[in-house]
Structure 1
Amino acid sequence: MTRAVLGRIGSAALVVWATATIVFVALRATGDPLEAVMGGPGSQAGPEAQAAAQAAYGFDQPVIVQYLRQLWQVVTLQLGDSYSRKLPVADLLAANFPPTALLATLALLLAWVLALWGVLIAQTSRGRAGRLVRGALHGLETIASVTPQFFLGAILILVFATGLGLFPVTGTGAAGLVLPVITLAVPVAGYLAHVMHGSLAQADAAPFALTARARGASETRVALRHTIRHAALPALALSGWAYGSLLSGAVVVEALFARPGLGRLLLEASIGRDVPVVIGGVSVIALSYVVIMLVSDAIEIVVDPRLRSGSPSNARTASTAQEVTP
């Protein structure tokens, strides 16, 4: 456990360093951040004001010194002030991260509900009609997993907001969350269901499933008690990645639905080359990714008893005993 925790801490530090470095280099390559400080390319600031801003923000120092100072601010959580907004970066992140985290969390939960619902229908469908149902579900999962979020969001706006008037396009209430959450959740649900279907056939033909059926268990009970539980393990391992993709996908969704949040803040900061805001926001997303990976690992250990065993032989014994029990 200690080695695992230290490994995760090391991974988090490496991820934050890599993201901060990439963001710093990318934003500096697009232009001079002094423009963001002075109010944009159309600023009428004189030479004296520009020289004062360069000295105040350290732009007159070598680039390597600016880079190391930026990294030190990330390490010490002293992210400084926004170039364009003239506000502490920590305050901006604290105000904009909760709406994005709520949006991503609800989308991940909905994605799991949709994926498990589809897998349960496929597992309990038998005969010729069952093959047709499974084929249709497989097609829908494929389409959902490759549908761009901006396209899906635009379709949802046209149908449910503009056409039917059921949900608002913008808004911070519960109704305003419906369309953005669905936009984020559907592609992830398709991918999770596709991953689970890959291991569902193997679990369905395993001895524990055959034994449960021989003892008179219904297909629904076999699915809920045995096969879906095993088929969900690969998808659980990908939940951390899925949450990270939802946080990054929030950039598109928040811009499309005009929602406040970290994604919209990062988009505006990237356009304005506001380096402290972008580095701080990306670091928060990277740390959130590491935390959700830890949570998904813990859930996977709870679901799979083999991961709680001290040796491979004990793991197989525990798993077999648990699997054949109706």
Structure 2
Amino acid sequence: MSEVAASEGQGDRAGGRVVAAGLAVLGWLVKFVMVVVVIATVNFMLVHAAPGDPAQVMAGQSGAADEKLLAQLRADYGLDKSYPIQLANYLGRVLTLDLGYSYRQQRPVRDLILERLPATLLLTATAFIAALTIGVMLGLFAGVRAGRWSDTFITILSLLMYATPVFWLGLMLVLLFSVKLDWLPAFGYVTIGVEMNPLQRIGDVAAHLVLPATSLAAIYLAIYARLTRASVIEVMHQDFIKTARAKGLTQGRIVARHILRNAILPVVTVAGMQAGALVGGAVVIETVFAWPGLGRLIYDALLQRDYPVMLGIFLVMSVIVIMLNLLTDAIYRVIDPRVSMRTAS
């Protein structure tokens, strides 16, 4: 009887955990939808508050700007409706994953974004991984050797990278590695007009990726290096590090198992918040290097007053930032299991 009761109790607890997990997922989905709706509303209000009339831009590009044509264009694209109706129509389309139709390019916005999104994700992911990995390594090395010449060198290098504008750094890298040394391609995503097999194409894209990814990663690399150094120095003075040394653990084991694991927590937090800023920073880099991503697309849409494209890109970027924050929270829980324990309690 006791075994039956124990098995039933375990089954009830397992069922309760499943129900709790289902409710948590449902609550997360509801919050996600609410956040997306709020972001879409704010984006709509900000974009439509900017000066300029899309109908006048389109009419001017067609070579005729009479009132009849302007009225026709506004009616065709729903610009003649009141502001609340335009907002309601836009939110209704967002909830059905319809991002609208481009005024200028005469194509669905979703298709335009799906064409450019892989290039932006490739650039930002490469820059983020490079900045985080190299920055943490440099910061760890500088923190462990605080006060020595290597620490001073890394500190000065980090300050220089942080103070350097990304567009100026990109142009200097082009002058050095493309114009002067002719090692790397200066602009574009892939070499045009050259037949390549899949392996050669991957290598060609990687070569085009080096300069823009380096330019985008530089400032964040400096931030992560400085933050890691400060965190490492703080952790090294904790009592548990002194205890580990007293037990006779090697310096490498202390650094890898105790110092780095505790020092990287604030770095993960900051990196998660700044991952979205990488997407925004890609606008400048993609313009400098003619990288065919969302940054270049939104720049052209801004000049052309193509509201649906701008709103679609803003919404996609916002969703990416939300997902990155959720991923950061999951990584934080893996690195520090105490977070999960505090949440559960």
In the comparison of the two structures, how many residue pairs are matched? 309
Question: How far off is 1:138 after superposition?
Answer: 2.0
Matched, 1:228 2:228: no
Matched, 1:21 2:42: yes
Identify unmatched segments of 5+ residues in structure 2. 1-20, 190-204
Question: How far off is 1:220 after superposition?
Answer: 2.9
Question: How far off is 1:83 after superposition?
Answer: 0.6
- For residue 164 of structure 1, what is the aligned residue in structure 2? 181
Match of 1:65 among 85, 90, 112: 85
Change (3 A) 1:303 1:92: same
Encode CA deviations 1:247-276: one digit per residue, 9 max, x unaligned. Answer: 001100000000100110011101111110
Question: How far off is 1:72 after superposition?
Answer: 2.3
Change (3 A) 1:266 1:9: farther
Match of 1:38 among 20, 34, 59: 59
Matched, 1:106 2:126: yes
Encode CA deviations 1:168-215: one digit per residue, 9 max, x unaligned. Answer: 112321100001111111111111122222221221112222222223
Q: Say if 1:252 and 1:263, in contact at 8 Å, map to a contact too.
A: yes
Amino acid at match of 1:203: V
Matched, 1:147 2:164: yes
Amino acid at match of 2:178: A
Identify unmatched segments of 5+ residues in structure 1. 315-326
Segments ≥4 residues shifted beyond 6 Å: none
- For residue 238 of structure 2, what is the aligned residue in structure 1? 206
Mapped partners of 2:38, 2:144: distance in 1: 47
- For residue 196 of structure 2, what is the aligned residue in structure 1? none
Q: Say if 2:132 and 2:224, in contact at 8 Å, map to a contact too.
A: yes
Matched, 1:86 2:103: no
Mapped partners of 1:188, 1:242: distance in 2: 8
Change (3 A) 1:32 1:259: same
List aligned pairs for 1:1-326, cutoff 5 A.
Answer: 6=27, 10=31, 13-14=34-35, 17-18=38-39, 20-38=41-59, 40=61, 43-125=63-145, 130-172=147-189, 173-310=205-342
Question: How far off is 1:76 after superposition?
Answer: 2.2
Aligned alpha-carbon RMSD (Å):
2.4
Is the radius of gyration larger for structure 1 or structure 2?
2
Question: How far off is 1:66 after superposition?
Answer: 1.7
Q: Say if 1:114 and 1:189, in contact at 8 Å, map to a contact too.
A: yes
Change (3 A) 1:83 1:241: same
Amino acid at match of 2:301: A
Q: Say if 2:56 and 2:70, in contact at 8 Å, map to a contact too.
A: no
Encode CA deviations 1:5-44: one digit per residue, 9 max, x unaligned. Answer: 736853663365335534543444311111344364x731
- For residue 323 of structure 1, what is the aligned residue in structure 2? none
Question: How far off is 1:288 after superposition?
Answer: 0.3
Encode CA deviations 1:100-135: one digit per residue, 9 max, x unaligned. Answer: 011111111001111122023224437xxx522222
Mapped partners of 1:167, 1:13: distance in 2: 45
Question: How far off is 1:309 after superposition?
Answer: 1.8
Which stretch has the larger CA shift, 247-256 or 211-220? Answer: 211-220
Question: How far off is 1:223 after superposition?
Answer: 1.5
Question: How far off is 1:48 after superposition?
Answer: 3.6
Question: How far off is 1:233 after superposition?
Answer: 0.4
Q: Say if 1:122 and 1:133, in contact at 8 Å, map to a contact too.
A: yes
Q: Say if 1:269 and 1:278, in contact at 8 Å, map to a contact too.
A: yes
Mapped partners of 1:140, 1:15: distance in 2: 39
Mapped partners of 1:15, 1:143: distance in 2: 38
Which stretch has the larger CA shift, 277-286 or 230-239? Answer: 230-239
Mapped partners of 1:16, 1:147: distance in 2: 37
Mapped partners of 2:27, 2:302: distance in 1: 33
Change (3 A) 1:301 1:4: farther
Mapped partners of 2:168, 2:142: distance in 1: 27
Amino acid at match of 2:115: A
Change (3 A) 1:13 1:197: farther
The TM-score, its normalising length taken from structure 1, stands at 0.86
Encode CA deviations 1:280-326: one digit per residue, 9 max, x unaligned. Answer: 100000000000111111111101121132589x9xxxxxxxxxxxx
Q: What is the identity percentage for the equivalent residue pairs of Structure 1 and Structure 2?
A: 33
The TM-score, its normalising length taken from structure 2, stands at 0.82
